Amino acid sequence: MLLQSERYQREWRELEEEFQQLQETHKVYRQKLEELNNLQAACSSSIRKQKRKLKDLKYSLQRCKHKSSPEESDLIQQINTQIKDRQNIFFDMEAYLPKRNGFAYKDEYEKFKLYLTIILLLGAVACRFILHYRVTDEVFNFLLVWYYCTLTIRESILISNGSRIKGWWVSHHYVSTFLSGVMLTWPDGLMYQMFRNQFLAFSIFQSCVQFLQYYYQSGCLYRLCALGKRNHLDLTVEGFQSWMWRGLTFLLPFLFFGHFWQLYNAITLFELSRHTECKEWQVFVLALTFLLLFLGNFLTTLKVVHTKLQKNEDEMKKL
């Protein structure tokens, strides 16, 4: 047993040395990558500036060409030829620069979520308090379907490029897309009108929480990425993850309230499905879907909170 303990200690020391070396290598790699990204950005910016100035110059030469003397026309022709050659050189330069990197696509994804959240919030408020028409409800539900469909597509692209979003928060948008699609097909009637205001109020609350989450999560991600603790392609999510713990715990009551509102929606729809006037299949299907969303969101958030608290307790015991 003593020999085995010595062997394990030796192997651990070797692994520790290799790990320290790996950390140093990775640190150098990140520094070089940062330098490379800065050079790429500087080159791209200079090329865009040059192309813009050449375009303005070419336009000015084109205007002067009709009023110029023969000598000036020859000079203009020479400059136009050089401009064309310069444009070919720029084309070759751009071949070695990233056309559209993952960071830019990630930023566009986050902006898309923010803008659509604001639009959905305004739409839900308008439908709830101003526009009491079925056609406006259809437009709102169609926008929800398009929004969640677009999110799933964009997230799939970002995940394939290195974004670390997985588990329930990937499935969440697929379930939300299905729920919005069922709401879209629900015909107008007594059952729909009995649930309409509750659903729109829930949509208003959900959009407000998502708006808060975007700002606080994006700020948290920025700080963690600057410290090298998170991937630059990590995304904001509708739920709660361990990296959001510091400074974002105040969101937990709002998140849990939203989860239980989903449960309340499910209970309301189950009761409506038992109504004597209920003939629409959408009522029971929506009840099951809201129940699935509640279970997924609530249990996942609860698991993250429990894991984080347990980890904090272990760290305190070590101290």
pLDDT band at 200 (very low <50, low <70, confident <90, very high): very high
Query: Are 148 and 180 within 8 A, CB to CB?
Result: yes
Reported as a single tens digit per residue, the pLDDT across 3-14 is 677 777 888 888
Residue 264: predicted pLDDT: 96
Residue 151's Cβ-count burial label (10 Å; 0-12, 13-18, 19+) is: buried
Q: Which of 98-112, 181-195, 247-261, 300-314 has the lowest mean pLDDT?
A: 98-112
Structure token pair of residue 68: 């110029």
Spatial neighbors of 225 by CB under 8 A, at least 6 apart, are: 231, 232, 234
- More confident of the two residues 169 and 197: 197
**Could you give the CA distance from residue 125 to residue 118 in angstroms, rounded to a whole number?**
11
Give the Cα separation of 289 and 44 in Å (integer).
47
Of 175, 180, 244, nearest to 214 by C-alpha is: 244
Query: Mean pLDDT, the chain, as a whole number?
Result: 82
Sorted by where each begins, the domain ranges of the chain are: 2-94, 103-318
Q: What is the pLDDT at residue 241?
A: 54
The residue-averaged pLDDT of 284-292 equals: 96
Rounded Cα distance, 226 and 210, in Å:
24
Residue found under tokens 């329930």? 168
Structure tokens at 119: 């639009």
Residue 305 corresponds to which tokens in the numbers above?
A: 């909170």
* Residue-wise pLDDT tens digits, 63-116: 777 777 777 777 878 888 888 888 778 777 776 666 555 566 677 777 888 899
pTM above 0.85, yes or no: no
CA-to-CA distance for 300 and 173, rounded, in angstroms? Answer: 14
Contacts (Cβ under 8 Å, ≥6 apart) of 195:
265, 268, 269, 272, 283
Using CA of residue 272, residue 182, residue 259, residue 135, what is the dihedral sign? negative
Spatial separation of the C-alpha atoms in residues 17 and 13, rounded to whole Å: 6
Sign of the alpha-carbon dihedral angle for 198, 201, 205, 207: positive
